[in-house]
Amino acid sequence: MNKIWQFNRMEVAGSLGDLGTLLPISLGMILANGLDPTGTFLSIGLFYIFSGIYYKVTVPVQPMKVIGAYAIATGMTATQISASAFLVGCFLLIIGGTSTITRMGKYIAKPVVRGVQLSTGILLMAEGVRFMVGTSKFQILKASAEPWLSIQHLGPIPIGIILGLAGGILTLLFLENKKLPAGLLVIMGGLLVGLMLKNINISDSLSPGFHLPSFLPAGFPSQVDFTFALMALVLPQIPMTLGNAVIAYADLSQDYFGEKSKKVTHKAACISMALANFMSFFMGGIPLCHGAGGLAAHYRFGARSPGSNLIIGGVFVILTLFLGPGLILILHLIPMSILGVLLIFAGGQLALTIMDLKERKELFVPMIIMGITLASNLAAGFMVGIIIHWILTSEKMSI
């Protein structure tokens, strides 16, 4: 277990743990916003691989959720999304390269970090339930709970609920099993169901070959694109990125991996995300980040080394180069409800980090952050949480 690189069943299972977050937003932006699938999945795979090689621990790769959700909901253009990736990359490179984020991180106390982690965990679990019952934004966009299955109900019960319950029970039974990892069983079971019940003809639609991404496939964004992306996408995304993808992520990585995670600093996380977004910009992909929720997902399902990064990153790179846009058809085989199972268990893992807080004042801060997050958004919860914690440091204040 002391080896840096591991390539076993647990690493394979852990590498699949965050597909519940990664796939719906990526596929949604490809379908709704016209992003290039080859550039999207190749940039994701390369980010996984290079992050694992540099940090030498399991590193999550996720889409930027605020940008993704708003872009899908409003049907923004590919050039506007590309502009947001470039602008986010510039911002992260500046605050990382100047060590501004390091100074900022010193003033973010543990209760605030735990609040971000708790809120993110609850959001992931809620989204997992939506995937099962068919009410997520992606499913609403497709006007179907399981868009690529030929059966939508078994009697009066939606097929997603049945698959979700079966996947949840399977996960509970095998969650700590080293020989039959839960994450691997659930994904393989989902793929099997997808193959049996698919309503798309995969073999006739695939075009195997050697596919490379185009350079700026949607063209270079205009000044209007950059201005609109800054106001509508980048500014709302930044607080969540700093709270969840930098500060909470680095804290969780230290909790999980200790000394092995010494390279996962606030500064390094900013710079690696900046470079990933520049790469995604030129390939026509989605804005990318790290994230505490993604790390919790990989860890919960067995990932303990950077081997998991090379496994999932290698899968994305090889399949993208071989299948190009056809990779989407393979990913469609995984039912949405199965992705929901992954989200629920990953969210639970992340939310439970709050257990190391003991004092009432400490616990009150995460509760406030969670409440504001559910009523508004995580960025607002994060900023208010900092203020509340600072107020509660006074001995005159009690809860």
pLDDT digits (tens, 9 = 90+) for 8-54: 999 999 999 999 889 989 988 998 889 999 999 999 999 999 999 99
Task: Name the domain count of the chain.
Answer: 1
The reported pLDDT for the residue numbered 279 is: 98
* Residue 366 within a domain: no
Residue 351's CB is within 10 A of a number of other CB atoms, namely 23
* Residue 35 within a domain: yes
Residues of the chain with pLDDT under 50: 1
* Residue 369 within a domain: no
Find tokens 């699949």 and name the residue.
16
Helices (H), 284-375: 292-300, 307-323, 327-331, 336-351, 360-375
* Residue 393 within a domain: no
273 touches 264 (CB < 8 A): no
State both tokens at 362: 């400490």
**Predicted model pTM:** 0.89
* Residue 381 within a domain: no
* Residue 234 within a domain: yes
59 touches 105 (CB < 8 A): no
The reported pLDDT for the residue numbered 204 is: 62
Where does 36-184 show beta strands of DSSP type E?
62-63, 153-154, 157-158
The reported pLDDT for the residue numbered 178 is: 83
* Residue 198 within a domain: yes
Range of the domain at 25: 9-357
Condensed to tens digits (0 to 9), the pLDDT of residues 183-208 reads 999 999 999 999 999 877 766 667 78
* Residue 311 within a domain: yes
pLDDT over 70 percentage in the chain = 98
